[in-house]
Amino acid sequence: MIDPITAFSAATAAYSGIKKAISVGQDITSMGSTLSQWSKAVSDLDFLDQKAQKPPIYKMFSNTESDALEIWTKKQKVKEMREELRSFISWNYGPSAWEEIVRIEAQQRKAQREAVYAKEEFKQKTIDVILAIIIIATGVAIFALVVYYLGKNQGRW
């Protein structure tokens, strides 16, 4: 399960690593794993934000507003990091380097969607279906009991 604190911590660690590597003059192509980590963390936060906007049925009575607010604040901080990285990388390596990072980020999002998010969404849908079946079965059972007791009280069976 992905949580906003872990995703934000990973984004912050990757951000620090990228900034440090750039400041010591390391080539951007040698930072592939760090860029990938950054992209994955940003993608996780985006997924959590998307999930918070449409919470599942069983979380109807939980505190989804505070979760959404927490994710939003983390995303705003990541936006600031992103803008600082964009200007820093564009300044040191030119705009094409930032475009390369955006491409890497898009690839990472796609890979995350296929690998992790699809499983999360499947799990979520499975829980929703099971809950719907339980609710419907409970409703049918209650209706059947009411009909049975009404019939019994009227002497029909």
Q: Half-sphere exposure of 145 toward its Cβ, with a 13 Å CA cutoff?
A: 6
DSSP secondary structure code for residue 3 in this structure: -
Tokens describing residue 122: 């499947």
* Boundaries of every domain in the chain: 4-112
Sequence-distant (6+) residues with CB within 8 A of 134 are none
3-state secondary structure of 63: coil
Highest mean pLDDT among 15-24, 30-39, 87-96, 126-135: 126-135
pLDDT tens for residues 25-75? 776 667 777 877 877 888 888 888 877 777 666 665 566 666 777 778 888
pTM confidence score? 0.62
Determine contact, residues 89/98, Cβ cutoff 8 Å: yes
Q: Half-sphere exposure of 135 toward its Cβ, with a 13 Å CA cutoff?
A: 8
